[in-house]
Amino acid sequence: MIIETWCRLRAGMTAFALLATMVAGSTSELRADEVRLKLHTYVPLSVPPMQHLLKPWADHLSQASGGKLKIDIYPLMQLGGRQPQLVDQVKDGVVDMVWTLLGATPGRFPRTEVFELPFTHRSTLATNLALRDMLPKELADDFKDYKILLLHVHAGNAIHMKDAAVERFDQFKLKKIRSPGQISTEMLEAIGATPIATTLTDVSSMMSRGVIDGALLPFDVLPSIKLNSLVRYHVLMAGDQRPTTAVFMLAMNKKSYESLSPDLQKLIDDSTGIEMSKKAAEVMDRFDQLGMKASKDGGATFITLSAEETAKVRQASESVVAAWAKKLDAAGGNAQQVLSRAQELGAKYSPKAGQ
């Protein structure tokens, strides 16, 4: 009886082991069929480009591939390093993808900096489409180490002042204004202001303590850093043009891309076409308008410099363009060709073109 019971138990255990082996084998096959890519970024998942552009894109890839391709997004530098290191992390294959701000590594992408030069940026859509057109030729040398999926900008920077109602060019003199990057720093110096470099998260506290008088920022970030309640005056340029913007890139490691099957490569290529450039513009513009509305609802005053005063800002900023051109030419680039093409395409794709 004992032997019979033992034999039945042993048979049951053998059957269970066989079933477990079959299930494990099936799971292994499913996992072998799935590709997971790591996307590293410096921002939280709550910001508009993550919530309304990259997260939906990752979800689309998963769905369209039948679950074969998964993009795991790691925000706030969760995989280690600092923001300026993202471009090397993806180049060296530490991660598969990054979404980052090119201005975090000044001088690393000198041709693409043309769109951050004062008054080159015409509109979010126009600049996104110009970036797309120039990537294969005029900007190609900047990105030879990457598989670029998307280049895009935000709606553009305005000058947000705590207490100073700046209505003339000469009133910028010695105002301490937070700068978002090297080219903006040079522009602020050119117009007589004192640029202050600080992280976005420190802007509100520094303004409340009087360390800075203002900040050069797009409107979309103001609510998230609670700057609306501190800023009384928002200074804009004539012609509804923002003086500077910032370029972001969604880049992939070349080997990570080449290791994918042709169908997954095609899926990525098809999903990062011109429609994604347009979607990026729509998202950034929509949240920029929401930021402007929040400021207006809070009682802030919007000041638009006259055409004459805006012209003075433009003229003073020409030295920034000249300095950029000199550096690019010295590095073997053709600054005039890059600048002319950027201006040509900006005009071509501008919503006001032909009006």
Q: Is residue 48 part of a domain?
A: yes
pLDDT of residue 20: 42
What contacts 96, CB < 8 A, 6 or more positions away?
37, 38, 39, 90, 252, 253, 256
How many structural domains is the chain composed of?
2
Nearest CA to 206 out of 162, 251, 257 is that of 162
Q: Is residue 27 part of a domain?
A: no
**Does 165 lie in the same domain as 274?**
no
**Does 205 lie in the same domain as 233?**
yes
For residues 333 and 330, give the distance between their C-alpha atoms in angstroms, rounded to a whole number: 7
Beta strands per DSSP E along the chain: 35-41, 69-74, 97-101, 147-153, 158-161, 176-179, 194-197, 214-217, 233-236, 247-252, 301-304
**Does 119 lie in the same domain as 70?**
yes
Q: Is residue 339 part of a domain?
A: no
pLDDT of residue 242: 95
**Does 212 lie in the same domain as 180?**
yes
Cβ(219)–Cβ(213) below 8 Å: no
**Does 198 lie in the same domain as 317?**
yes
User: CA triplet 246, 252, 257: central angle to 5 degrees?
Assistant: 155
What contacts 295, CB < 8 A, 6 or more positions away?
219, 222, 228, 231, 234, 302
What's 303's domain CATH number? 3.40.190.170
**Does 135 lie in the same domain as 113?**
yes
Among 261, 286, 311, which residue terminates a domain? 286
For residues 57 and 41, give the distance between their C-alpha atoms in angstroms, rounded to a whole number: 15
**Does 320 lie in the same domain as 210?**
yes
Nearest CA to 112 out of 246, 203, 259, 301 is that of 246
DSSP string for residues in 80-98: SS-GGGHHHHHHTTSSSEE
For residues 79 and 178, give the distance between their C-alpha atoms in angstroms, rounded to a whole number: 28
Token pair of 323, please?
């300095």
Burial of 118 by CB count in 10 Å (0-12 exposed, 13-18 middle, 19+ buried)?
A: buried
Q: Is residue 23 part of a domain?
A: no
**Does 98 lie in the same domain as 178?**
no
Residues of the chain whose pLDDT is less than 50? 1-30, 353-355
Q: Is residue 209 part of a domain?
A: yes
Q: Is residue 13 part of a domain?
A: no
Q: Is residue 24 part of a domain?
A: no
Distance of CA 66 to the CA centre of its chain: 28
DSSP 227: -
Q: Is residue 250 part of a domain?
A: yes
**Does 191 lie in the same domain as 122?**
no
pLDDT of residue 192: 98
Question: Which domain does 167 fall in, by range?
Answer: 158-244+291-330
**Does 305 lie in the same domain as 186?**
yes
Token pair of 31, please?
């996992």
For residues 340 and 272, give the distance between their C-alpha atoms in angstroms, rounded to a whole number: 26
DSSP string for residues in 136-162: TTTTGGGGTTSEEEEEEE-S--EEEES
pLDDT of residue 199: 85
The predicted-structure confidence for 178-199, as pLDDT tens digits, reads as follows 999 999 999 999 999 999 998 8
**Does 239 lie in the same domain as 191?**
yes
**Does 303 lie in the same domain as 173?**
yes
